[in-house]
Amino acid sequence: MTRIHPLAVVAPEATLASDVVVGAYTVIGPCVTVSRGTTIGSHVVIDGITEIGEKCHISSHVVLGAQPQIAEDRSEATRLVIGEEAVIREFASIHRGSSKGRGVTVLGQRNFVMAYAHIAHDCVLGDEVVVSSQAGLAGHVEVEERAVIGGQAGLHQFVRIGKYAMVAACSAVTQDVPPFIMAHGNRARCYGLNTVGLRRHGIPEEAVLRLKRAYRLIFLSSLNTSQALERISAEVGTCPEVEHLIHFIKTSSRGIAR
In the chain, where are the structural domains located?
3-140, 199-250
- CATH topology identical between 3-140 and 199-250: no
Supply the CATH classification number for the domain 3-140.
2.160.10.10
Strand order in the sheet with 93-95: 9-10, 27-28, 45-46, 63-66, 93-95, 118-119, 136-137, 154-155, 172-173
Cβ-contact 137, 158 below 8 angstroms? no
The whole-angstrom separation of Cα 177 and Cα 63 is: 28
Please tell me which residue in 29, 48, 83, 122 is annotated as part of the active site. 122
Q: For residue 186, what are the contacts with CB-CB under 8 A and spacing of at least 6?
A: 170, 171, 172
Which letter, b or e, does each residue of 174-192 get, where b requires 16 or more Cβ atoms within 10 Å of its Cβ?
A: bbbbbbbbbbbeeebbbee
* End-to-end alpha carbon distance in the chain: 54
Q: What is the pLDDT of residue 232?
A: 94
- Angle, helices 205-219 vs 240-250, to 10°: value is 30
Q: For residue 250, what are the contacts with CB-CB under 8 A and spacing of at least 6?
A: 229
The Cα-based distances of 30 to 14, 19, 25, 163, 222 in angstroms read: 4, 18, 16, 35, 58
Per-residue pLDDT 10s for the chain (258 aa) are 679 999 999 999 999 999 999 999 999 999 999 999 999 999 999 999 999 999 999 999 999 999 999 887 667 789 999 999 999 999 999 999 998 889 999 999 999 999 999 999 999 999 999 999 999 999 999 999 999 999 999 999 999 999 999 999 999 999 999 999 999 999 999 999 999 999 999 999 999 999 999 999 999 999 999 999 999 999 998 899 999 999 999 999 999 998
Please tell me which residue in 118, 121, 140, 244 is annotated as part of the active site. 121
Residue 121 has phi, psi (to 5 degrees) of -60, 140
Give yes or no: 192 in active site.
no
Please compute, for residue 202, the number of CA atoms within 13 A of its CA located in the half-sphere on the CB side: 0
Task: Calculate ∠ Cα 175-214-221, nearest 5°.
Answer: 80
The Cα-based distances of 49 to 46, 67, 79, 82, 83 in angstroms read: 9, 10, 5, 11, 14
**Fold of the domain spanning 199-250:** Udp N-acetylglucosamine O-acyltransferase; Domain 2 (1.20.1180)
| Closest-CA residue to 118 (of 150, 93, 148) | 93
Please tell me which residue in 139, 150, 162, 197 is annotated as part of the active site. 139
The whole-angstrom separation of Cα 113 and Cα 107 is: 10
- Alpha-carbon radius of gyration of the chain: 20
Give yes or no: 101 in active site.
no
Q: For residue 256, what are the contacts with CB-CB under 8 A and spacing of at least 6?
A: 175, 176, 177, 178, 190, 225, 249
Give yes or no: 122 in active site.
yes
Q: What is the pLDDT of residue 1?
A: 63
Q: What is the pLDDT of residue 238?
A: 86
Strand order in the sheet with 3-4: 3-4, 21-22, 39-40, 57-58, 87-88, 112-113, 130-131, 148-149, 166-167, 181-185, 188-193
